[in-house]
Amino acid sequence: MNFDVSHPDVRRAVEIALAEDIGAGDLTTNTCIPGAMRARAEFVAKQGLTLAGVELLELLFGDVSLASSSGNRIEAGGKIAEVRGAARELLTRERVALNFLQRLSGIATLAVKFVSAVEGTGVRILDTRKTTPGLRVLEKMASAAGGVVNHRMGLYDAVLIKNNHIRLAGGVREAIGRTRSLNLPIEIETRTHAEIEEALDCGAARLLLDNMTPEQAANEIEFIGRRAETEISGGVTLENIRAYAEARPDFISSGAITHSAPAVDINCGIYAL
């Protein structure tokens, strides 16, 4: 799975990261490293991980040799990429490169764990909009690299009626009725059996079963049958996701994949040529 480095949000994120870190110039590097010096940088995994975002190196450096691509499993000690160029540029952009690689590979690595936890059940794992502001496209690419299915990218590309919509609209029936004009599949969050019955009666395409126990979810999914797709969300962790998957929903979504993924350990060694 390759990252789309041509995406404008990806390019913008890289530009902002460089401007944030470099500012008016790298004082240390520009003072102590000769301008004519050339060097090579080796990016190496210090732990087992699922790689994501390595293609961004091509936006940061000129001469890049990728040893692997996003979505690949890398063992500890495995080479990820080698970069050659002006020593000053390698030093100045090293931290930005590592920040992206470590963060995005951390998401992909955690995503793989969620996907593996439900193996054999047929359940598909979804990410959410709980992403770092400004980095959504990158973080969703990273979760996809780990085998997760991307949920909606934002508020503009799908209908998802949440509990606050229901409250302010005056109820399930009212909220669904007002969104029919969009002519899009309607997903609605449901927290009680009564809401599920009403949503089904109104023809919702997908029911999001929110903050239910695995046992409650299993009972409701059996009641729903195949009248609508089902998605479980709320309180899902690596420890309990298998129990939720055994309730046989179509999807399970987890914000933890993006908001709680720990960065992985990647090293960048820079050597004179």
Give the pLDDT confidence of 104-141 residue by residue, as tens digits: 999 999 999 999 999 999 999 999 999 999 999 999 99
- Print the domain residue range for 95: 8-112+261-272
Residues 46 and 164 reside in one and the same domain: no
List residues with catalytic annotation. Answer: 95, 130, 162, 189, 210
Average pLDDT, the chain: 97
244 pLDDT higher than 70: yes
Residues 96 and 74 reside in one and the same domain: yes
Model confidence at 236, pLDDT cuts 50, 70, 90, reads: very high
What is the rounded distance in angstroms from the CA atom of residue 183 to the CA atom of residue 2? 33
1 pLDDT higher than 80: no
Residues 41 and 124 reside in one and the same domain: no
What is the rounded distance in angstroms from the CA atom of residue 16 to the CA atom of residue 21? 9
- Averaged pLDDT for residues 163-176: 97
List, in order, residues 6 or more apart from 63 with CB less than 8 Å away: 83, 84, 85
**CATH number of the domain that residue 170 is part of:** 3.20.20.70
Residue 213 covered by a domain: yes
The reported pLDDT for the residue numbered 3 is 84
The reported pLDDT for the residue numbered 186 is 98
Q: What is the pLDDT of residues 208-233, one digit of tens each?
A: 999 999 999 999 999 999 999 999 99
Are 174 and 186 in contact by the 8 Å Cβ rule? The answer is no
What is the rounded distance in angstroms from the CA atom of residue 60 to the CA atom of residue 11? 10
Structural domains of the chain, count: 2
Residues 61 and 184 reside in one and the same domain: no
Whole-structure pTM value:
0.96
